[in-house]
Structure 1
Amino acid sequence: MSTHAQIATAGAVCAAATVPAHDRPAGSALAAFERAHAIDPHRTAVLDDRGNSLTRAELAALSAEVATELQGRGLGAGDVVILCMPNWTEWLVVYLAVLRLRMIPATLPVTTDAKSIAYVANLVGAKAIALPVTHRGRDFRSESSTVAREFGHTLHVLLLDGDHARRSWRSFDGPAVTAPAYPADMAHILFSSSTTGKSKAIAHSEASLSAYNFGVIDRYQVTDSRPIFMPSPLGHSTGLWHGARMSLLTGATLVLQDRWKPRRALELIDSHGCGITVAATPFLKDLVDCEWDGPAPKLNTMRAFLCGGAPVPPELIERARRQMPHTFISSIWAMSEGGATSSVPGDAAELVSHTCGRVLPGVVLETIAPDGSVNPRGTEGELVMRTPSLFIGYLGQDDLYRESFTADGFFRTGDLGVVDDAGYLRLTGRLKDLIIRGGINISPVEIEYALSDHDQVAKVAVVGRPDSRLGERICAVIQPRDTPPTFEELVAWLERRGVPRRLWPESVHIVAEMPQTPAGKIRKAELKQELWREWS
């Protein structure tokens, strides 16, 4: 049996043994939507911040039209289609069309550049791509020629102009693309950056996708009674899992925001009575910092705001709780490869503020020592996990897939942390984010927690800058709110907060804007490269 098959089989056994079977819709997200459509076709399925909306009946009809067009171009079951679309209602139209034909959706944020789109298209053996005609000043009709030229194979491009009824196709001739070996039961492809700078193509089955979905749905009792708000890109794992798929599986209306504006987000949530969202830490911080003069508190209808993507400073959670008294502010920790932990409703404020929550049902989370042995509970180390939501392969990167597992079959997350006896996780850093100063490993998490609450700091990342003697020194990269804080002000702030002197930054670097992923995570690798260019 191959490594792919061995690990996939272990994951399937874990899923079958641990995912609750009661009250589960049979089949896929598409089947769940079709049942909801049959019950109430006139209910709103999805709306966006442009004012567009679709009922279930309209969504079903439009997706059927697009499916017919895909078939007319010779596309069908097992073929890969890349969705690189904004958070528009049309995203869900194309997604359902692809599912109808049992094709494989591969989802990218719309901010992905043309050459990167072509790279992942080759990586996964794509046969079609869905793009907007234009978006935020980009001419995707023109860029589709660049994608096709870089791709070098037969390619069909669906262009949507933001009007439900208006779409067009471009077809480019070339040799047939050579697809990599697909894992059995592959139902979706996500993309994530790797240490090489190239995207990883992360294959999931319907079982692995649903395992994470239902873990969250059950824990937070998500139903169709209140809409789901989603400002994270649907092309990213957060938007896919907790936006598109969760709305289809529960029948809840999906409220999308394409262009992030905190005030507009508060208005959308308030006007539509949204009940839950999952978004990265910067989204929560922006909402907390945003002025609000509504008659009710911020997020008045929202039962849970699940905050992930980066550690959530305790001070931010405390501020959010004061401004959003009816909302459970929760930490959630996961990656594109699978979901793991979240705060449990009823958790004490202290537990929410200082942990990433408790493992979801079926998840086994441990830490390992450098020699690969499993540590006793409560011991810091590299986090490894087994979970029913675990991915089933890196397409075209079999060596990387094999290297991502321990000899015992645990997936190596690359994060550092501590897991207690009750299954609660406390993150302490990332292996590749560690600052190695004079041979001593320093995690940036505690420093970032403290600096993020400074009034003059909008965003912060602590990284290592090169040093000829010590290898690296601690550098705080700051995106200021207004007037940039001085080095002396930040050091004094850390001293007052009781941060140990050994963790104080030795320099400060001011940036106008942090480089971020579409989901709001700061790209520390880019910051480090910039510092190395300036200091080397």
Structure 2
Amino acid sequence: MDHAASYVHGASATPLLGETVGALLDRMAGVWPDRPALVVRQQGIRWTYRQFLAEVERVASGLLALGLEPGDRVGIWAPNCAEWVVAQFAAPKAGLILVNINPAYRSHELSYSLNKVGCRALILPRAFKASHYLKLLSGLAPELAHAASGELSAAALPDLRHVILLDDDVESGTHRWSDLAGDAAAMKRLREIEATLSFDDPVNIQFTSGTTGAPKGATLTHHNIVNNGYFIGEAMRLTEQDRLCIPVPFYHCFGMVLGNLVCVTHGACMVIPGEGFDALATLETVAEERCTGLHGVPTMFIAELEHPRFHEFDLSSLRTGIMAGSPCPIEVMRRVVRDMHMAEVTIAYGMTETSPVSFQTVPDDPLDRRVATVGRIHPHVEVKLVDEAGHVVPRGTHGELLTRGYSVMRGYWGDEESTAVAIDAARWMHTGDLAVLDDEGYCTIVGRLKDMIIRGGENISPREIEEFLYGHPDVQDVQVFGVPDEKFGEQVCAWIRLRDGATTTVAAIQDYCRHNLAYFKVPHYVRFVDAFPMTVTGKVQKYLMRESMVAELGQTSPDVHANASTL
């Protein structure tokens, strides 16, 4: 029989929300002023929606009092904390654009990010774990140490004017977060700005790695993320009674949209178990706070399930949550449902450029659908699968997934060329993912046209690492690709051709990367080779390198995984 075309449209009687992030928070604080909004375990914070709104407005007016103007970019380079959540809502309330900077970034990546989007202000703690943020920043901007508190002028970071430190200690050239507060004039200015904002204004820039090298700044609007958060929460059947444990990072759309915005759009409580992921802290938090939902990438759920103290914790309050970020092992999904009481756990698929979710399972879907597919199309979103000629393929046939609708980003900041490649003239976002739609509309992700590596939920550009390694004096040529890994989904592997006479080691290459790149980009495997497998036309065949590594490591390519979001 003839199959229908691989096109789906999320027709819905539920209208899109036509409000800004600030208006959303105002509305929810008006409806649920005394309900819990934010619990941050490591900081001892418990705020109601009324208290949370007051803190957001304090910081929003304080940012304006520094002289920032609507449209200015404000970077946040920090682990999960109450201040991150406040900044997420304060910046858009003041008409500013929040720029998410990965806490694992080192100086090279930080300077690129700040300069790419022209950040006027940067929020950061003094240090977190092994990252001494202020020292790294001072290394880029030595002027910081000699500046009086106020406007900064740094040659390496020409747009940066204000550094806002989350610590209480005063530091030369910085402002203290706790001192941010606008006077009556700044609060009046805040109200005036809010009245002029449009829900189509850009509100957030998230860096995403493609295969072309340097990260690109996906620019999202109020409309993008407010509505995506709302409909994700609807699929989870969230209400104001829910308490969602969010151990996933806020700099990523998983924490920021699928976590924080999902809660605020439903009057639910955001529960933050720690600055970074810790299995024990997460289990303790779920039990102590009687959380009804829990998010995580598969490796997080595995760490929780396998923790030696797992059975000490009463997790019976759990009902829902999202597993996403990388392929989900089917057995892990079954254990989450059975042992963590998450009978309504959902799987989501999307990408940063689409705010991010396009497909999601719902509690009514049979378990086999929830582990073998990424569910069905989200409300108000369109998807089609096309062949290499751009023609829509029949159901049951592989094709590239293209998506269109309210969720598609404005574009890549300051990069019209990359935007035009990603979003065609009809506003279809080309995801680079290969998928299949069945006759009931369930979607299965079967591969990637792109070369991207997904390690533990982190999207990694092979080209970015290759270009960095080309700067090593002993490296003549390099190819970077992903190999299957049971714990992280994939690990980074680099095949390197050394210059004549060079005698460097695997450890030296890894150490070179470790000092300049985020830890998750450091090649786990390094092999020195004389040549790369090539086609007759000279094109490198990375798939043959991957197959060779799989054979060397005695692995089989993972084929027993459920689908998950690439987010």
**Counterpart contact for 2:206–2:217, Cα < 8 Å:** yes
Decide which of 17, 20, 34 is 1:28's aligned counterpart: 20
**Counterpart contact for 2:432–2:448, Cα < 8 Å:** yes
State the shift of 1:520 in Å: 11
Decide which of 36, 40, 45 is 1:53's aligned counterpart: 45
Q: What letter is aligned with 1:310?
A: S
Cα gap change, 1:469 to 1:249, in 2 (>3 Å): closer
**Aligned pairs for 1:66-465 within 5 A:** 66-145=59-138, 146=140, 148-161=154-167, 167=177, 185-256=201-272, 257-294=274-311, 299-338=315-354, 339-406=357-424, 408-433=426-451, 448=484, 452=486, 460-461=490-491
Q: What letter is aligned with 1:281?
A: P
Q: Secondary structure at the match of 2:323?
A: strand
Q: What letter is aligned with 1:315?
A: E
Q: What letter is aligned with 1:158?
A: I
Moved more, 463-472 or 54-63: 463-472
Q: What letter is aligned with 1:432?
A: K
* Alpha-carbon separation, structure 2, partners of 1:403 and 1:234: 28
**Counterpart contact for 1:331–1:357, Cα < 8 Å:** yes
* Alpha-carbon separation, structure 2, partners of 1:408 and 1:37: 38
Q: What letter is aligned with 1:392?
A: R
* Alpha-carbon separation, structure 2, partners of 1:330 and 1:359: 13
State the shift of 1:412 in Å: 0.8
**Counterpart contact for 1:67–1:98, Cα < 8 Å:** yes
State the shift of 1:87 in Å: 0.6
* Alpha-carbon separation, structure 2, partners of 1:383 and 1:34: 37
* Alpha-carbon separation, structure 2, partners of 1:408 and 1:459: 34
State the shift of 1:114 in Å: 3.1
State the shift of 1:245 in Å: 1.7
Q: Secondary structure at the match of 1:134?
A: coil
**Counterpart contact for 1:192–1:200, Cα < 8 Å:** yes
State the shift of 1:88 in Å: 0.5
Q: Using structure 1 for the length normalisation, give the TM-score.
A: 0.74
**Counterpart contact for 1:309–1:520, Cα < 8 Å:** yes
* Alpha-carbon separation, structure 2, partners of 1:376 and 1:473: 32
* Alpha-carbon separation, structure 2, partners of 1:150 and 1:411: 34
Cα gap change, 1:473 to 1:393, in 2 (>3 Å): closer
Percent pairwise identity: 25
* Alpha-carbon separation, structure 2, partners of 1:34 and 1:112: 34
State the shift of 1:183 in Å: 12
Higher relative contact order (CA 8 A, sep 6+): 2
Partner of 1:3: none
Moved more, 113-122 or 303-312: 113-122
User: Residues 190-247 of structure 1: CA distance to partner in whole angstroms, max 9, x if unpaired?
Assistant: 2211223312111112112122112212112111202121111111111110222222
How many residues matched? 448
Q: Secondary structure at the match of 2:242?
A: coil
Cα gap change, 1:91 to 1:477, in 2 (>3 Å): farther
Q: Unaligned stretches of 5+ in structure 2?
A: 1-8, 142-153, 170-174, 181-197, 454-480, 496-530, 536-540
User: Residues 73-113 of structure 1: CA distance to partner in whole angstroms, max 9, x if unpaired?
Assistant: 21132222112222111112223332332212122222222
* Alpha-carbon separation, structure 1, partners of 2:425 and 2:87: 40
State the shift of 1:399 in Å: 0.9
* Alpha-carbon separation, structure 2, partners of 1:161 and 1:260: 21
User: Residues 106-156 of structure 1: CA distance to partner in whole angstroms, max 9, x if unpaired?
Assistant: 222222223323322222222111111221133323333325442123521
State the shift of 1:310 in Å: 1.3
State the shift of 1:187 in Å: 2.2
State the shift of 1:407 in Å: 5.6
